[in-house]
Structure 1
Amino acid sequence: HSLRGDGRLTGRLLSGLPFAPTGAQSRAVAQIGADLARTHPMHRLLQGDVGSGKTLVAALAAAQAIEAGAQVAVMAPTEILAEQLWRKLSEWLTPLGVAPVWLTGGLPAAERRKALSAMASGEARLAVGTQALIQEKVEFESLGLVISDEQHRFGVGQRLALNRKGDQAKYRPHQLSMSATPIPRTLAMAFFADMDVSVLDELPPGRVPVRTRLFDDRRRDDVLARVGEVVRAGRQAYWVCPLVEESEALQLQTAVDTYELLCATLPDLRIGLMHGRLPARDKSEVMDAFRAGAIDLLVATTVIEVGVDVPNAGLMVIEHAERFGLAQLHQLRGRVGRGGGEATCVLLYQPPLSAIARERLRAMYETTDGFEIARRDLAQRGPGELLGIRQSGQALLRFADLESDEDLLEQAREAAARLSADFPEHARAHRQRWMAGADQYLRS
């Protein structure tokens, strides 16, 4: 469906903001708006570093779809992020008469039934939730736009399932994916022109790039001293660990051990502990205390990788950084410096480093550009299957190479466009021969 809005809802949303969108945000909104107005499905990636304002762009896209008569679904990978998105979208849209419904796996049965009924009847124009949105019982009356936040955290099947929730007769929903660090497969799709890309390459006023420093594990005392300095100066800090409890297979510093060590080493600090095995209510309490400033230092696992927004946090320490992937490291780094002023990310590693680990840490030290980080990730891990479910790994192209054969890709793009426009039957036969129905994966 063409979702050409009348501009009333988007105009009211923009006029009610206490700030002006950046030039990059305005450009992305215009690109997405033009896509939504067309009668073929949008498949666009919104790439922007952490804190560049992707949520506002998504809100404006949702507003255009809603004023054109469609429903919108926004899916996030964790309850923390889904709740944050729901709160922010509610803050912006509820005063305009659009109250987002909320759906997660932990919702009480009565509230869940109410949300499902509102979505199925069309009463709810905007739904925000976790993977609960793709469960079988979830139905929409007229889903016209699906938005995946932090899409690198979802599998191909999950994104495809959300897209299919909007299938109505011959119509498919428009799709917007958002990420600071697209997965290798997504970047490859962008190179192949199967996905359009909007880039937010401006940070909001007052934001400065986060400094990244590398520390050998043997300099742990220096890092501990730095944590104390930062907190005593009035800022807050994170200390991230890869495991919750001791593992015989991986003798890594764990969140529980680190929490106890930091409590003993820095007794004057208020220290909290956060990990995925905590009940949802306990997670919420810890995060609320950290946001309110009642906790100075939060020891956590990667549960805080996405969706955690604490403007006063100025230091991020990542334990055993050599064990994390590039996307995770970049996302974690983005948790600090969100309130303006200088911020630092310390990558604490244990030598000796493998060649791949050394390359990852070098990439993090050399650039804060999420798209460049994603490009290096693609070079390291491979693009995976464009017509399948593998999101990284060896490419299935027999002879061509994404980087060295870029000129051939350009020629192929031009030839494909001409074939589709001038010889549609030949194009259809060509696709059937080579794709044999696997083109459904391009929707994800």
Structure 2
Amino acid sequence: MSAPNRKSASTAANKPAAVNKTEDKLARLGLRSDMDLVLHLPLRYEDETQVVPMREAAFMGGQTVQVEGVVSACDVQFRPRRQLVVTISDDTGVVVLRFLNFYGSQTRQMAEGNRVRARGELRHGFLGAEMVHPTYKMVLEGAPLPDVLTPVYPSGEGLPQSYLRKAIASALARVDWRDTLAPALLAGLDLMPFEAAVRLLHNPPPETDESALADRSHPAWVRMKFDELLAQQLSLKRAQVARRAKGAAPLPLIGALSQAFQRQLPFQLTTAQQRVLQEIRTDLLANFPMQRLLQGDVGSGKTVVAALAAAQAIDSGFQAVLMAPTEILADQHFRKIAGWMEPLGVRVAWLTGSLKKKDKSEAQARIESGAAQLVIGTHALIQDAVQFARLGLVIVDEQHRFGVGQRLTLRNKGLATASALDPTVIVPHQLMMSATPIPRTLAMTYYADLEVSVIDQLPPGRTPIVTRVIDQSRRDEVVERVHAAALEGRQVYWVCPLIEESETLQLQTATDTHAALSAALPDLRVGLVHGRLKQLDKQAVMDAFTRAEVDVLVATTVIEVGVDVPNASLMVIEHAERFGLSQLHQLRGRVGRGSAASVCLLLYQSPLGQIARERLRTMRETTDGFEIARRDLQIRGPGEFLGARQSGQAMLRFADLETDQWLVERARSVALDLLRDDPATVELHLARWLGAREEFLKV
């Protein structure tokens, strides 16, 4: 079956169901065109270019080798468990192939006298040299060996390597191989030609430096990484130009509302808050749309800055909207911001998925008529039924928790034309907020189209948080510490990663932990909150905790953001090795909000893997969100910082921002030259590398 090309819907409808099903599986990997397949590069390689005689293989224990021989015995054995044991031999010796999981057809396939070529790790077993679950193929005597390394591609369920190899080989014969970079530019940058680099990566000859292929330092990989970074920089720079060509309604009035709001705040803005507020206010004066990322560590005071930006939009006669990823966080914003604004006469609407149908309809009507000046809610805001009268400012909190498509949808709610005489598209200003600080290298690369503001100062009165890492075997000591803290009048969070028992992850669940703590601490009030509770029940528990009517709150990560209880000064995180650094940092930020010394206890289950050990060490060593973000980038890469995975497309597949920063600088320089001098090459390069995905880089 040949690889899929882009077809019309009618053509696809006429295909056999099996073909459409296979194409659906390819599409889930982002493989929709021939060029997608050509740029689906191998994860690693297997050397099937030589067969090792079995006598030599016997001395290669622990190494991966390929042998070939005739089946001399094929038996299903039942001790110590059911398994297929196949003995093959050549002129020099014998190797046993052992399959613990097998199909009945394999016993017929490996009948005595048939010839097998097998590749796997050789070990010394009870019967001599053996391989457990090797890859194998049935061959005829004298069958030729490959003359290139065999690629192993990223795959998905139901997509065998054999199909991917055939589909990619077919696509290689059909694509347009024109190089998007001129020969003089290639020479100046010391880059391989595009076709030569791609063909080598799919079919490297045996003499290719395998270590350079593995660590992606080979010149062919360098060309791929450069082209990918160039496409990204071209797209972002072009998006920046396009955004500045669009219209936006200037929001010039820092009027009565803004002034009254700031006067009635019970605290002074920090120097950092004042600086970023001025940056935002200056952007809102422009006649092209602001696109600014507001970064700040947990508790740095981003919410009040966003509220002051919303006040400027309302002063200027426009609506503002704030979207948060969870109802708990949205509710926290609503209570805080409405508490500030409603006494000043601002009409605030609340819209989430859990609202009753009648309440939802009433909220939508207020939004559409313009009666609601400020709208706060969750994903419900991006539903088709929600229309705004005069949307001037979009605020997205915890922006990395939304897919880029969702952020685009909300921004597009405010699209309008200037007038019948002026066809300029009016786009709302956009402010994105994140408590997950973005390392500088990441911001330079991914946010070339964004201005970035950083609140790099915490408000006075925030107490330092001491972090301890504790083995699960000392759980009883932790329970005693919880008891002592509660008796002193302090409140406690106990966070668990799962709601119900899982067969694959034997973790202590929230419901089990709630029952166990209730039994162990009968004199304390233990509450439980998780994502599957009804919103009203969830809110009732959170309100009780806020009023200090609950001593210990057992919760899943629904409390990761948006919960502000100054009296809570002890955080226990169960199975901390299962959480990412960003989540651990966010959870820890729920304490340390009052005057009491605060502690975060990270309970872990031994043994720890290398990545988990690095995460926990980082949490113990620092509370600096930017340092944590830098280490997180090293550990897991950039995807989750940006919400990229939620768009269904990885934004960088090949380049590594830690090791390839030198290439980013070169790509940025070439992008500027091409945009100025060679628009045709820009189009060709973007079509090759991004296709229809370019829009996802613009938010």
Give the TM-score normalised by structure 1.
0.91
Shift of 1:242: 0.9
Shift of 1:21: 0.3
Partner SS state of residue 116, structure 1: helix
1:201 paired with 2:456, answer: yes
**184-193 or 434-443, larger mean C-alpha shift:** 184-193
Q: Of the two, which has the highest radius of gyration?
A: 2
Residues 34-82 of structure 1: per-residue CA shift (max 9 Å, x gap)? 2222233222221111111010010011111222232211001111111
| Cα 1:361–1:71 shift into 2, 3 Å | same
2:602 matched residue in structure 1: 347
The answer (yes or no) to whether the contact 1:3–1:70 under 8 Å persists in 2 is no
**411-420 or 277-286, larger mean C-alpha shift:** 411-420
Counterpart-to-counterpart distance in 2, 1:190 and 1:432: 21
| Cα 1:356–1:291 shift into 2, 3 Å | same
The amino acid across from 1:312 in the alignment is N
What is the number of equivalent residue pairs in this alignment?
Answer: 440
1:430 paired with 2:682, answer: yes
The answer (yes or no) to whether the contact 1:152–1:182 under 8 Å persists in 2 is no
Shift of 1:283: 0.9
1:319 paired with 2:319, answer: no
The answer (yes or no) to whether the contact 2:403–2:643 under 8 Å persists in 1 is no
The answer (yes or no) to whether the contact 2:497–2:575 under 8 Å persists in 1 is yes
Counterpart-to-counterpart distance in 1, 2:303 and 2:297: 12
The answer (yes or no) to whether the contact 1:183–1:391 under 8 Å persists in 2 is no
The amino acid across from 2:605 in the alignment is Q
| Cα 1:357–1:160 shift into 2, 3 Å | same
| Cα 1:270–1:142 shift into 2, 3 Å | same
Equivalent of 1:85 in 333, 339, 345: 333
Equivalent of 2:490 in 235, 252, 262: 235
Counterpart-to-counterpart distance in 1, 2:530 and 2:442: 30
The answer (yes or no) to whether the contact 1:151–1:178 under 8 Å persists in 2 is yes
Counterpart-to-counterpart distance in 1, 2:698 and 2:330: 22
**159-168 or 210-219, larger mean C-alpha shift:** 159-168
Equivalent of 1:396 in 645, 648, 652: 652
Counterpart-to-counterpart distance in 2, 1:190 and 1:89: 33
1:45 paired with 2:293, answer: yes
Higher relative contact order (CA 8 A, sep 6+): 1
**170-179 or 320-329, larger mean C-alpha shift:** 170-179
Matches within 5 A, 1:182-193: 187-188=442-443, 192-193=447-448
The answer (yes or no) to whether the contact 1:189–1:386 under 8 Å persists in 2 is no
| Cα 1:226–1:269 shift into 2, 3 Å | same
1:5 paired with 2:260, answer: no
The amino acid across from 1:10 in the alignment is S
Counterpart-to-counterpart distance in 1, 2:304 and 2:464: 20
Partner SS state of residue 426, structure 2: coil
Shift of 1:251: 1.0
Partner SS state of residue 205, structure 1: coil
The answer (yes or no) to whether the contact 2:644–2:650 under 8 Å persists in 1 is no
The answer (yes or no) to whether the contact 2:525–2:551 under 8 Å persists in 1 is yes
| Cα 1:431–1:371 shift into 2, 3 Å | farther
1:73 paired with 2:329, answer: no
| Cα 1:357–1:72 shift into 2, 3 Å | same
Partner SS state of residue 482, structure 2: helix
Partner SS state of residue 268, structure 1: coil
Partner SS state of residue 72, structure 1: strand
The amino acid across from 1:379 in the alignment is Q
Counterpart-to-counterpart distance in 1, 2:639 and 2:536: 38
1:268 matched residue in structure 2: 523
Counterpart-to-counterpart distance in 1, 2:640 and 2:494: 35
The answer (yes or no) to whether the contact 1:181–1:327 under 8 Å persists in 2 is yes
The answer (yes or no) to whether the contact 1:77–1:149 under 8 Å persists in 2 is yes
Counterpart-to-counterpart distance in 2, 1:403 and 1:296: 44
2:552 matched residue in structure 1: 297
The amino acid across from 1:309 in the alignment is D
Equivalent of 2:562 in 278, 283, 307: 307
Shift of 1:190: 5.7
2:631 matched residue in structure 1: 376
Partner SS state of residue 45, structure 1: strand
Counterpart-to-counterpart distance in 2, 1:256 and 1:384: 32
1:286 matched residue in structure 2: 541
Counterpart-to-counterpart distance in 2, 1:264 and 1:280: 26
Matches within 5 A, 1:326-345: 326-345=581-600
Counterpart-to-counterpart distance in 2, 1:179 and 1:360: 20
1:32 paired with 2:287, answer: no
| Cα 1:40–1:410 shift into 2, 3 Å | farther
The answer (yes or no) to whether the contact 1:188–1:383 under 8 Å persists in 2 is no
Partner SS state of residue 430, structure 2: strand
Partner SS state of residue 416, structure 2: coil
Counterpart-to-counterpart distance in 2, 1:171 and 1:418: 30
Counterpart-to-counterpart distance in 2, 1:386 and 1:370: 13
Give the TM-score normalised by structure 2.
0.59
1:156 matched residue in structure 2: 404
Counterpart-to-counterpart distance in 1, 2:643 and 2:515: 45
Equivalent of 2:434 in 153, 162, 179: 179
1:139 matched residue in structure 2: 387
Counterpart-to-counterpart distance in 2, 1:261 and 1:387: 38
1:106 matched residue in structure 2: 354
Counterpart-to-counterpart distance in 1, 2:447 and 2:301: 26
Counterpart-to-counterpart distance in 2, 1:439 and 1:147: 23
Shift of 1:17: 0.9
The answer (yes or no) to whether the contact 2:249–2:426 under 8 Å persists in 1 is no
Counterpart-to-counterpart distance in 2, 1:293 and 1:388: 35
2:664 matched residue in structure 1: 409
The answer (yes or no) to whether the contact 1:74–1:149 under 8 Å persists in 2 is yes
| Cα 1:91–1:416 shift into 2, 3 Å | farther
The answer (yes or no) to whether the contact 2:249–2:392 under 8 Å persists in 1 is no
| Cα 1:111–1:429 shift into 2, 3 Å | farther
Counterpart-to-counterpart distance in 2, 1:97 and 1:427: 51
Counterpart-to-counterpart distance in 1, 2:477 and 2:643: 47
Counterpart-to-counterpart distance in 1, 2:335 and 2:570: 25
Counterpart-to-counterpart distance in 2, 1:355 and 1:108: 47
- Percent sequence identity over matched residues? 59
Counterpart-to-counterpart distance in 1, 2:679 and 2:595: 52
The amino acid across from 1:133 in the alignment is L
Partner SS state of residue 470, structure 2: strand
Shift of 1:418: 7.5
Unaligned runs of 5+ in 2: 1-247, 418-424
Counterpart-to-counterpart distance in 2, 1:387 and 1:345: 27
The amino acid across from 1:396 in the alignment is L
Counterpart-to-counterpart distance in 1, 2:672 and 2:314: 31
Counterpart-to-counterpart distance in 2, 1:385 and 1:300: 23
Partner SS state of residue 459, structure 2: coil
